Structure 1
């Protein structure tokens, strides 16, 4: 599995699975270092901040919208849990658990986006929050890691 696989689980979860050729340490860096995040997430980011530790937070701003939230758990390079707020709306948004496991010389990533209820998940899907996930995560394969 190199392409992202997206599945609905139960009433509230969206699960994304993908394998990367990079080891977990590099995938973790791609997920937690602003300069690397810009390479794969979007060249249009106008602000990209992350403090990837429990009690930290993240913020990604585009000209038209933003995602931000608290980091609840972080154990480099294998596990992070954060809450994802769209445009600062703290009443909505999933709790996102990312797990990175060594898989040969690469990494198997599992992301679980858990919404508060079935209606919230349905709304997120209708609004396109799961669109393009395979393409976006696929860009991590192309990240240029500085030494």
Structure 2
């Protein structure tokens, strides 16, 4: 009998943003800026740092920095413990910044959605679009 790991799905959002990677990096790694576009947090840009993201809905995500390469890559766990296993979430969020002639291509991948987590997957797809919209508004204000 073979044991294969259950397939997981990813939410991927890519957006070209008319700002240099350094400016985008600050918005991804400075706690007061993260709070403006994502969630309240106690983030520190250090490998292995454990932090929490506090959602407006009252939920708390447990996170740990997995990879950090200034102005290029940021990856952290995105874990949400829930009483209902269908909503229990263990995933990894990875931001990749690629310079472009017009600014930066920002790619976000949230990997780890189990097949039965259709609601969480759909919520993340919509949620990340909203987060990216807030991120662009923040960057425009911070000219």
| TM-score where L is the length of structure 2 | 0.76
Shift of 1:65: 1.0
Change (3 A) 1:11 1:88: closer
1:38 aligns with 2:26: no
Deviation sequence 1:17-45 (CA, Å, 0-9, x none): 11111111111110110111122225xx4
Aligned residue for 1:93, secondary structure, equals: strand
Counterpart of 2:69 in structure 1 is: 75
Q: 1:54 aligns with which of 47, 55, 58?
A: 47
1:109 aligns with 2:102: no
Q: 1:129 aligns with which of 124, 128, 143?
A: 124
Counterpart of 1:95 in structure 2 is: 92
**CA contact 1:36–1:145 (8 Å) conserved in 2:** no
Change (3 A) 1:36 1:88: farther
1:142 aligns with 2:140: no
Q: List runs of 5+ in structure 1 lacking aligned partners.
A: 1-9
Distance 2:103 2:53 in 1: 27
Counterpart of 2:3 in structure 1 is: none
Q: How many matched pairs? A: 130
Shift of 1:87: 4.7
Change (3 A) 1:116 1:62: closer
Change (3 A) 1:97 1:19: same
Q: List runs of 5+ in structure 2 lacking aligned partners.
A: 1-6
RMSD: 2.5
